[in-house]
Chain A
Amino acid sequence: MVDHSSAAPHAHQFDDIQQQHEADSLGMWVFLTTEILFFGALFLSYGIYRHAYPEAFAAASHFMDVILGGINTAVLLGSSLTVVLAVHAAQHGERKRLVMFLIFTIILGLAFLSIKGVEYSHKFAEHLVPGVDFQYKGPQPGHAEIYFILYFVMTGIHALHLLIGVGIMTVLAFRASKNRFGPDYFAPIEVSGLYWHFVDIVWIFLYPMLYLIHVYH
């Protein structure tokens, strides 16, 4: 990620730390717009096929675990909160709280990934993995298969993003414990926080679209 901390107060190309901070923040926002389009194309594919095969999608979504998905939503929202608190702590130079909240975030991130792993293993057990082992008993198996492909691709890429997020948070926590951040220099935390929130937002959309289709049918 955008990461320019060094012993120097600000990198040579900038006039001052303020300019550097603004640049880091803008850089992350621009990066997030590319992410919007990246996931957006997936959501579009989902929308097109859901529009084409509504019944198959609804039927296939019966195989989703609404409870686990719901727990995961809560976990991620909680992790967003701990990130906010971490940024807040960094801004105020509270090193211990900063490290603590970063570690909370990491734990919640890992919790999400573990639950996701459990869900994936269920899908394998139920032979619902397209291209690997797909035996679907419901109507229109071909169209349901598209649903499961999109499910795996979308949640898989999302999980990959989260994994990267956990990696970044780990590095940040390590460096925070070495007291690298302070009220003047916390851009890496804030910027990584933006990324984390974005990953959270993606899930906020994924959950109803993938898990909650069938409820109203």
Chain B
Amino acid sequence: MIPLLSSFPLFPVEASQQARQVDTLYIALVIIATFFTAIIFISLAFFAVRYRKGSKASRVLLHPENLKLEITWTAIPLVISAGIFLWSAKLYFDEHVPPANSIEIYVVAKQWMWKIEHPQGNREINELHIPVGIPVKLIMTSQDVIHSFYVPAFRVKQDVLPDRYTTEWFLPTKIGEYHLFCAEYCGTGHASMRGTVYVMDPSDYQQWLAGKTHEVPMATTGEELFQHFACNTCHQENDMGRGPSLYGIYGSTVHLNDGSTVIADQSYIRNSIDDPGGQVVAGYRPIMPTFKQQVSPDQVDQLIEYIKSLRPPEKVAKGMKQ
């Protein structure tokens, strides 16, 4: 019985915090659905037998329409629905707010593979190694079409779009190996765009990170790129350059030319590299050329990681604007 069950599962493994929460909601829904299906099926069967043609059951009917009944069975589904909505919306919202202490890992999807890079510089393809018990946030983008990063054991899924970042987070709770699927149809090799997520003991994870000795941290690679593309000639440590300083900019609120503000997150940095004229910092002229053709999505990720590592040298310098 047991080997059969393991080769023929009827319920997926729960390997993340979200999995437990989603399953609870799912089981509640199964109960509700079974209950109503049973009501309908049983009454169908009961009426079908009792009121079959020629049966002796009484057909005296007092009211052919029954307003109270109609209102009741309009209201009950409405109330139940409202309850499910609130419950599921809460979970959904939480699924989009990664905890501050999350490990951030970059994912680049392309036809038909997952390229993953850890901040420490470890790269892997179609594999994702993560520690158990620590929230992981994926910062994802695609090089070509829309993909979707789906780990059934974690009950999370998020489409991965070209020229844009989407994020997904989860808190793995169980050591093991789990499927990674591409869930958004992406062309011929869609079904083979699969991988494995390895949830490891934190110490094993550290060992794994260190095990690949030649890895250069993403921020370091990013710094080299920063110099290679001569970004540093304009974006200097202080605000004396032709472009704004990037020290301490990550995560801060930036005031733009048109009076609006924006949070300098990965999307903002990426947009500024691709389309520098789109969101110009207040006080600066739109002189930066686009680097869209020169910089690959992986390199953008490395630049972001570098910019993230730039802490403000002095608090005073930050407020200064031309």
Contact = CB atoms under 8 A, between A and B. Distances in A.
A143 B275 CA distance: 10
A140 B277 CA distance: 7
B83 interface: no
B164 to A, nearest CB: 12
Contacts of B189: none
B278 interface: yes
B176 interface: no
A53 B279 CA distance: 10
Contacts of B275: 140, 142-143
Contacts of A140: 275, 277-278
Contact of B286 (A53, A139, A142, A143): A139
A18 B287 CA distance: 69
- On chain A, which size bracket covers the interface? under 10
Nearest to B274: A142
A142 B286 CA distance: 16
A55 B277 CA distance: 10
Interface string A131-144: 00000000110110
A140 B276 CA distance: 9
Interface in A3-60: 53, 55
A97 B311 CA distance: 81
Contacts of A55: 277
A142 B293 CA distance: 13
A53 B286 CA distance: 15
Interface in A139-160: 139-140, 142-143
A139 B286 CA distance: 9
A3 B278 CA distance: 52
Nearest to A139: B277
Interface in B273-316: 275, 277-278, 286
Nearest to A52: B278
Contacts of B277: 55, 139-140
A81 B43 CA distance: 64
Nearest to B275: A140
Interface of A: 53, 55, 139-140, 142-143
9 contacts: A53-B278, A55-B277, A139-B277, A139-B286, A140-B275, A140-B277, A140-B278, A142-B275, A143-B275
